[in-house]
């Protein structure tokens, strides 16, 4: 059963084809990884899927609905959420508040009851806080709950972003380099976490440079080079594909 399908997605920046005619699909419980050398268009692809960029061509279909170029906040309502390669944490808010922000769709009601602190608003805030604390515990961040998010280490911030995204209880979760900058222990934690999220029935889309991680947890891999899909399949198939080896050895000699 396909939950998310990407159909011939493409975009040009100033006449250069950053991404061209990429198609693949993801089902609940799957981890689909998008790999490729630097500049292959992975993040651009994510930006199109998540509504940050308007695709020049192609469609994004979520649960049977065409959601191409839909604003991210409407995608969130339909169950899609993402994290960012370059960290988009709410720096001046506390760690706890960051995660509560992920509960926005469940928590928000009318402004007037927020201004007057009516019981309904208080109840909503209390529920969101309880949910957020639970998520912080799951991600091992509970002791940092009251700290300003900007003071956290890079690895913790990565986890904080994942916690915030999980708060939405998404059906599709896009993770853009969740393990970048993390040490071996942290990477392993993230490994387990992703597996756990997928096992709960979420379709996970992953961009990641750590090939060991990718090969271990992906159910399906899509390989991009120069904005085009050059291969796809399960990890074993993809790792033997000559086009993939060429793409990595040819373009990215800082190979992992």
What's the min distance (Å) between Cβ of 225 and other proteins? 21
Candidates 33, 48, 50, 238: give the one binding other proteins (CB under 8 A). Answer: 50
Is residue 81 a contact residue for other proteins (CB under 8 A)?
Answer: yes
CB contact at 8 A, 163 and 99: yes
Is residue 123 a contact residue for other proteins (CB under 8 A)?
Answer: no
Nearer to other proteins, 172 or 214 (CB): 172
What's the min distance (Å) between Cβ of 126 and other proteins? 11
Which pair of tokens denotes residue 243? 């086009």
What's the min distance (Å) between Cβ of 85 and other proteins? 8
Is residue 254 a contact residue for other proteins (CB under 8 A)?
Answer: no
Candidates 12, 105, 245, 249: give the one binding other proteins (CB under 8 A). Answer: 105
Nearer to other proteins, 98 or 156 (CB): 98
Nearer to other proteins, 121 or 223 (CB): 121
Contacts 24+ apart (CB under 8 A), 245-251: 247/36, 247/37, 247/40, 247/223, 248/37, 251/37, 251/38, 251/40, 251/225
DSSP string, 157-184: HHHHHHHHHHTT--SEEEEESTTTT--H
Strands (E), the chain: 4-13, 16-26, 31-35, 57-62, 65-66, 80-82, 172-176, 203-207, 220-225, 228-233
Is residue 77 a contact residue for other proteins (CB under 8 A)?
Answer: yes
Question: CB under 8 Å to 246, separation ≥6 — which residues?
Answer: none
By CB under 8 A, name the binding residues for other proteins.
13, 43, 47, 50-53, 71-73, 75-77, 81-82, 84, 86, 88-93, 97-98, 100-102, 104-105, 107-109, 111, 114-117, 121, 124-125, 128, 164-165, 167-168
């Amino acid at each position: 059963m396909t939950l998310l399908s990407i159909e011939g997605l493409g975009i040009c920046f100033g006449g250069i084809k950053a991404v061209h005619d990429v198609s693949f699909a993801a089902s609940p419980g799957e981890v689909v990884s998008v790999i490729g050398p630097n500049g292959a268009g992975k993040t651009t692809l994510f930006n199109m899927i998540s509504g940050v960029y308007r695709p020049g061509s192609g469609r994004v279909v979520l649960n049977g609905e065409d959601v191409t170029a839909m604003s991210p906040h409407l995608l969130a309502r339909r169950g899609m959420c993402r994290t960012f390669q370059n960290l988009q944490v709410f720096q001046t808010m506390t760690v706890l508040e960051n995660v509560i922000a992920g509960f926005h769709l469940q928590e928000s009601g009318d402004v007037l009851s927020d201004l007057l602190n009516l019981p309904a608003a208080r109840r909503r805030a209390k529920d969101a806080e309880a949910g957020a604390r639970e998520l912080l515990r799951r991600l091992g961040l509970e002791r940092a709950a009251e700290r300003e998010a900007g003071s956290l280490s890079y690895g913790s911030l990565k986890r904080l972003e994942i916690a915030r995204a999980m708060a939405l209880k998404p059906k599709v979760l896009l993770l853009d380099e969740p393990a970048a900058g993390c040490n071996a222990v942290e990477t392993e934690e993230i490994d387990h976490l992703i597996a756990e999220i997928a096992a709960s029935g979420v379709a996970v889309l992953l961009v990641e440079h750590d090939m060991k991680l990718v090969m271990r947890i992906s159910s399906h891999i899509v390989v991009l080079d120069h904005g085009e899909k050059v291969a796809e399949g399960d990890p074993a198939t993809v790792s033997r594909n000559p086009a993939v080896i060429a793409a990595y050895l040819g373009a990215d000699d800082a190979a992992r």
